[in-house]
Amino acid sequence: MSFSKRDLTQIEEKGIASEKVEEQIAIFKRGNIVVNIREAATIKNGILQIPEEEKEQIVSFYRRQKDELNILKFVPASGAATRMFKAFYNFLKEFDPEKEDLDTFLDRKNDPKLELFLSRTKDLPFYDELMDLIKERHPDYEELSEGKQKVIFVKLMLAEDGLDLGDQPKGLVPFHKYENHVVSAFEEHLWEAVDYAASNNKVRIHFTISKEHREKFEAETQRVKPRLENETGMQFELTYSYQDPKTDTIAVTIENEPFREENGDLFFRPGGHGALIENLNKQEADIIFIKNIDNVVVPKNRELNAKNKEMLAGKLLELQEKIFTCLRKLEAEISQRDLEEMIDFLQNQLNAGLGIQFEELSTEEKISALKRKLNRPLRICGMVKNEGEPGGGPFWVNHKDGGVSLQIVESSQIDHENYQQSKIAQESTHFNPVDVVCSFKNYKGENFDLRKFVDEETSFIAKKTKDGKELKALELPGLWNGGMSDWNTIFVEVPVETFNPVKTVTDLLKPSHQVK
């Protein structure tokens, strides 16, 4: 691939090596590589189901140690709320109250979520604020037809001179209505962190955000932080980072030629949440909790939520202690019995395959293989029972070296045209709620370089459009998918009540997001 001087200047200004861009174009030509799933991870076959009594012990183990630990909560929060309100942009385009009444329109559309939203607007967390604005702008509002009322409600919910919710960062959209105030997802994350991620009366949270949203997040911080510190007695340390432009990926035409904007510039797109491995790699902590911005709980579920987060963290500390003990032993002379116990621990507790050739290796080669498998970042991933939510799930995956490992696999990574692979996918019982507790310090207290543990082959090509033209876009290996492919991984079942995603604004009407 030959680039012009102008192209090379543009690439250099983004901080990307031209060789990297050429590699990305080669991936487009190669196409997606599907993951070879061996079987679904289920209870007693890759997913731990921890009894209540043992859970209490693990939680106590974590609580005894947490004040000695540097703890961080890491929240991907760069998304805008546009998708939450997509149906309502369409509603304004499609519904004309001058031409048909609302009931006729809803019968024609047959959209249960739209009907639910329009019938329960009073239960929305931003209802009072929006109605104050409506009454100020439309004094005759109560006298209008229901159809006209709903159009005004939706318009001012989305309009730039209204609440402008569709153009807000998702983390700052009002999520929950309390007796005297309304709370955003951002603020709920701070409250949650107090419950399980505080150490020595300090709460550290890192949000990955879009650069254009920085001022809004800082304004929200100034608004809520003093009140939270006063009410909790905690000191909050909030930090932010952006997705690095050098993680952007080039887009190509359907013929795999670089896609160009009207002025002739190369067109680059953000590389997806997998790019955040760079942001995560720069954090300094002993334990990091990872959770998406739109997944928060109301007070009635906070205790249950916290207990399960502490259980995941305690499990991580237990396993990390065993791993570090093994690695220290491997630095010295070890007996055959020690070696066999480590192999058993690696295979049966860490679920790490050693490859079909392992038994043929010499003792020295086995020790080297054990060191490599043990000396890796560690993550404990909560899994909830699958209740139909879209997204990834836990699977045993076959690797080229004959080894098998636990992975979080997205549906798009599976070859559904292959009957056997499709059948395995349908046997999945659990879902990945992005409920991760991890550590990337080695037994010497040094940080791993997380970029060395990414499976680059799990990048994903998707078809998109720009200015009415089709293009192909490249998403980097997902943060908790291929981005953590070569980590030691444990799956643990957690209650579905701890998973409350908000994909559309109508989700805020679910019982799990109603405070009362």
DSSP summary character for residue 472: E
Nearest to 37 by CA among 412, 385, 424, 411: 424
pLDDT of residue 172: 97
Nearest to 193 by CA among 72, 284, 295: 72
pLDDT of residue 390: 62
**36-77+182-318+426-513 CATH pick, 3.20.20.70, 3.90.550.10, 1.20.1250.20, 3.90.1300.10:** 3.90.550.10
Q: Transcribe 208-220 into DSSP letters.
A: E--GGGHHHHHHH
pLDDT of residue 402: 76
Report how far apart the first and last C-alpha atoms of the chain are (Å, whole number): 60
pLDDT of residue 1: 63
SS3 category, 19: helix
Distance CA 195, CA 305 (A): 9
Question: Which residue matches tokens 């549906």?
Answer: 411
Residue extent(s) of CATH 3.90.550.10 domains in the chain: 36-77+182-318+426-513
DSSP summary character for residue 195: H
pLDDT of residue 467: 84
Distance CA 321, CA 428 (A): 31
Question: Looking at the chain, how many residues does it have?
Answer: 516
| pLDDT, averaged in runs of 10, over the chain (516 residues) | 86 90 92 92 96 96 97 94 94 95 94 95 96 96 96 96 95 95 96 97 97 95 96 97 91 93 92 94 98 95 96 98 95 88 92 79 89 96 84 88 87 91 93 95 96 93 89 93 95 95 95 92
Largest CA distance in the chain: 86
DSSP summary character for residue 220: H
pLDDT of residue 513: 96
Q: 29: how many CB neighbours lie within 10 A of its CB? A: 8
Amino acid identity, position 109: K
Dihedral sign from CA coordinates of 228, 229, 235, 239: positive
Distance CA 449, CA 356 (A): 28
Cα 205 to Cα 64, 324, 360: the distances in Å are: 21, 27, 47
Whole-model pTM: value is: 0.94
